[in-house]
Amino acid sequence: MTALLVALGAAVGAPARLLAGRLLDDRTHWGTLLVNLIGSAFLGWLVGHGVHGRPLTLLGTGFCGAFTTYSAMAVQSVDRGGLRGTAYAVGSVLACLGVAWAGYQLG
Amino acid sequence: MTPPRLGVALGAAAAGGILGSLARAGLTSWLPVADGFPWTVFWINVVGSAVLAALPALAAVRRTPWLGVFLGTGVLGGFTTMSTASEQTAALFEHHHALTGILYCAGTLAAAVVAVFAVSRWVPAPDRLAADAAGVDE
């Protein structure tokens, strides 16, 4: 059951991230940044709201986990390099932490 | 190399995302971390980032557009997670483990970037550009 819920959430989250990347990623990866922000805020809200068990497995582990990505952010920042790459990486991590914390408080 | 058609790409991302997410869920339930440093997700994100950086070195990935999306956007994108990393850091702060939270947040980024940088040095630049054009790291 757990595996099915994770798979269902991921089957929506991963293609949604691809779509955001195709629509918004340019020299700056706005699409990747946006999905990471939305997913982090949503997961923070879910946990802060006390969502647990099967709903959290579907929406948190499955959807938010697959919707957001650490690997693409890391590779994009190294490919970009220099000050812009550093700003993208540090900005992504801090902004995602900020919105996750805000979501947690709201939840 | 051009990216695969949208329909193919969405299918490849979904299939890979399911596999990567199942692997992540399996590892985190097999190696649970209570209130300390979230080592499981730390290693998931660092290793996943390093493997994504290595993908362009595979000739099959450069030759087969959907394979790059399946492995990169799908499997590794689904395996690694920014949302869990952020939520875990916020929870560490919330539970008065601020130092662990700072070490986790900064440590994951530093380790992932160093790993990607080290791997990238061994992948020829034209291969990286070809993979980038094909949307491997979307």
- The string of DSSP letters for B54-107 reads HGGG-HHHHH-HHHHIIIIIIIIHHHS-HHHHHHHHHHHHHTT-HHHHHHHHHH
The predicted model gives A78-97 an average pLDDT of 96
Contact A70 B49 (CB under 8 A): yes
Run of H or E including B31: none
Tens digit of each residue's pLDDT (9 = 90 or more) over A42-71? 999 999 999 999 999 999 999 999 999 999
Q: Given B77, B90, B108, which is nearest A100 (Cβ)? A: B90
Tens digit of each residue's pLDDT (9 = 90 or more) over B96-138? 999 999 999 999 999 999 999 999 999 998 888 888 777 776 6
Give B-chain residues touching A50 at CB under 8 angstroms.
Answer: none
Give A-chain residues touching B18 at CB under 8 angstroms.
Answer: 6-7, 10-11, 14, 66
Contact A33, A98 (CB under 8 A): no
- The pLDDT value recorded for residue B123 is 92
- The pLDDT value recorded for residue B130 is 82
Contact B86 A96 (CB under 8 A): yes
For the cut 70, the answer to whether the pLDDT of residue B1 exceeds it is no
Of the ranges A79-88, B15-24, B43-52, B121-130, which one carries the lowest mean pLDDT score?
B121-130
- The pLDDT value recorded for residue A61 is 98
- The pLDDT value recorded for residue B138 is 63
Contact A79 B120 (CB under 8 A): yes
Tens digit of each residue's pLDDT (9 = 90 or more) over B4-24? 899 999 999 999 999 999 999
- The pLDDT value recorded for residue B134 is 75
- The pLDDT value recorded for residue A30 is 94
Interface test with A, best of B82, B116, B122 (most A CBs within 10 A): B82
Give B-chain residues touching A19 at CB under 8 angstroms.
Answer: 10
Interface test with B, best of A8, A71, A104 (most B CBs within 10 A): A71
Strand partners, A25: A29
- The pLDDT value recorded for residue A15 is 98
Inter-chain Cβ pairs, chain A and chain B, closer than 8 A: 209
Interface test with B, best of A70, A84, A99 (most B CBs within 10 A): A70
Predicted TM-score of the model (pTM): 0.96
- The pLDDT value recorded for residue B33 is 85
Tens digit of each residue's pLDDT (9 = 90 or more) over A6-31? 999 999 999 999 999 999 988 889 99
Contact B22 A32 (CB under 8 A): no
Give B-chain residues touching A106 at CB under 8 angstroms.
Answer: none
- What is chain A's length? 107
Q: Please give the Cα distance from B44 to B53 (Å, whole number).
A: 14
Asked if B66 reaches chain A (Cβ–Cβ under 8 Å), the answer is no
The predicted model gives B35-44 an average pLDDT of 94
- The pLDDT value recorded for residue A18 is 96
